Amino acid sequence: MVSPAHFVALSVILFVIGAVGVLVRRNAIVVFMCIELMLNAANLAFVAFARMHGALDGQVIAFFVMVVAAAEVVVGLAILTAIFRARRSASVDDANLMKY
Amino acid sequence: MTGTHPLILAGPAAETTRLVAYWLLAILSVAAAVGMVLARRAVHCAMLLAVVMLSLAVFYAMLGAPFLSFVQIIVYTGAVLMLFLFVLMIVGISAADSIIETIRGQRMWAALAGIAMLVLLSLVVGHAVIGPAAPNTAQFGNGNVTTLANLIFTKYLYPFEVTSALLIIAAVGAMVLAHRERTTPKPTQRELAARRIASGRPAPLPGPGTYAQHNAADMPALLPDGSHSELSVSTVLSGRAGETPRELPGATAIPVAPPETAGSLAGPASADSVARPASAGGQGAGEQ
């Protein structure tokens, strides 16, 4: 019997993997992908809770998360290409002009 | 279980099927997510992320969200991930991540933080009472889209309208960020022609694989005297393999434009780009 708890546990694992990826990786695009993974994990938890409560509000929230994630990807990737044009690098270490 | 969506498995063997599908895809998606963190090349990361997203789409279908399942495939995997790949093709030529730690012990601390977070979240989820699934109603099956639409256009109407503003702002913001102000006047056709004649090589670049043994795009063209013309290979392709851009051999039959001429040939559009020897050739081809 697959219960919503199974899916919540899976979403916890995926979220942690995404968070570790954000901390570890240096390539800004890969960091961005890890953020997407975290958003997806949160969506899975929302949908599982919607199934548990028998109401669709969780699915609506997941839908809104998807919309916001799409907008965020557009702006974020535009920033990345702008940084790449200026510094010829996609590494998060190279965008350090405003450090201290 | 009448009225369920065909995506939601129904029937006597449904529970077993669900269980098998869950464990298969759970292991697959966790493995793909771990591989995404570990893979050196950004393109491999994108492919593994696609695996995770597609398995999540199946999970949504299992959880009675057929609409979100399709949105996940169409919007997330189809649009968002392809956008990532587009930007990777533009940016990530030297896509392999460096393995040098800029902060000492960062990996170890990140792993510790990850374990701590996992423990914390597991405790939270373990203490919470997550009940069994609610009885299956039509809103998790055939009525899913209708019920969602009802919710979005009644209860969540205001957030929905705000979302439209957000999307417009995002589109305009991306356009502003991608815009580049022209600092010098646009060269006229006459100036371009004069530059091209002055560059010493008025003819267009040789096509890839012209008179070569293979006509693949990464094969350098064979010149009449039997030598290879590195100018015929796109700089994107030569840089794709992770190697530094190849130096142009001085002994090629083609008179190579000297670097200062090449810089002016490239024009103001790429004035901020790194002066690669082969990039001038690419720019020249673009001005045909």
Q: Which of residues 234-273 of B touch A (CB under 8 A)?
A: 272-273
Residue B4 has pLDDT above 60, yes or no: no
* Diameter over CA atoms, chain B: 80
- pLDDT value of residue B244: 45
Nearest by CB to residue A52, choosing from B34, B59, B134, is B134
pLDDT band at residue B255, thresholds of 50, 70 and 90?
A: very low
- pLDDT value of residue B288: 34
Is B170's CB within 8 Å of A72's CB?
yes
Q: Which residues of B touch A85 (CB under 8 A)?
A: 180, 272
**How far A89 CA lies from chain B's nearest CA (Å)?**
8
A96 interfacial to chain B (CB closer than 8 Å): no
- pLDDT value of residue B223: 77
Interval B121-138 mean pLDDT: 84
B105 interfacial to chain A (CB closer than 8 Å): no
Nearest by CB to residue A78, choosing from B15, B151, B174, is B174
Residue B267 has pLDDT above 60, yes or no: no
A52 interfacial to chain B (CB closer than 8 Å): yes
Residue B132 has pLDDT above 90, yes or no: no
Q: Using CA atoms, how far apart are residues B64 and A49, in angstroms rounded to an integer?
A: 11
**Averaged confidence pLDDT in chain B:** 77
- pLDDT value of residue B14: 77
Of B230 and B43, which is predicted with more confidence?
A: B43
Residue B278 has pLDDT above 50, yes or no: no
pLDDT tens digits for range B192-208: 999 989 988 888 777 76
How many angstroms from the chain centroid is the CA of residue B188? 35
Residue B283 has pLDDT above 80, yes or no: no
pLDDT band at residue B256, thresholds of 50, 70 and 90?
A: very low
The pTM score is: 0.74
pLDDT band at residue B23, thresholds of 50, 70 and 90?
A: very high
- pLDDT value of residue B97: 61
Q: Which residues of A touch B97 (CB under 8 A)?
A: 25-27, 30, 91
State the SS3 of chain B: CCCCCCCCCCCCCHHHHHHHHHHHHHHHHHHHHHHHHHCCCHHHHHHHHHHHHHHHHHHHHHCCCHHHHHHHHHHHHHHHHHHHHHHHHHHHHHCCCCCCCCCCCHHHHHHHHHHHHHHHHHHHHHHCCCCCCCCCCHHHCCCHHHHHHHHHHCCCHHHHHHHHHHHHHHHHHHHHHHCCCCCCCCCCHHHHHHHHHHCCCCCCCCCCCCCCCCCCCCCCEECCCCCEEHHHCCHHHHHHCCCCCCCCCCCCCCCCCCHHHHHHHHCHHHCCCCCCCCHHHHHHHHCC
Residue A48 has pLDDT above 90, yes or no: yes
pLDDT tens digits for range B47-72: 999 999 999 999 999 998 999 999 99
Of B239 and B181, which is predicted with more confidence?
A: B181
* B9 φ, ψ (degrees, to nearest 5): -70, 135
- pLDDT value of residue B275: 38
pLDDT tens digits for range B142-175: 888 999 999 999 999 999 999 999 999 999 999 9
Is A80's CB within 8 Å of B91's CB?
yes
Q: Are B9 and B18 in contact (CB under 8 A)?
A: yes
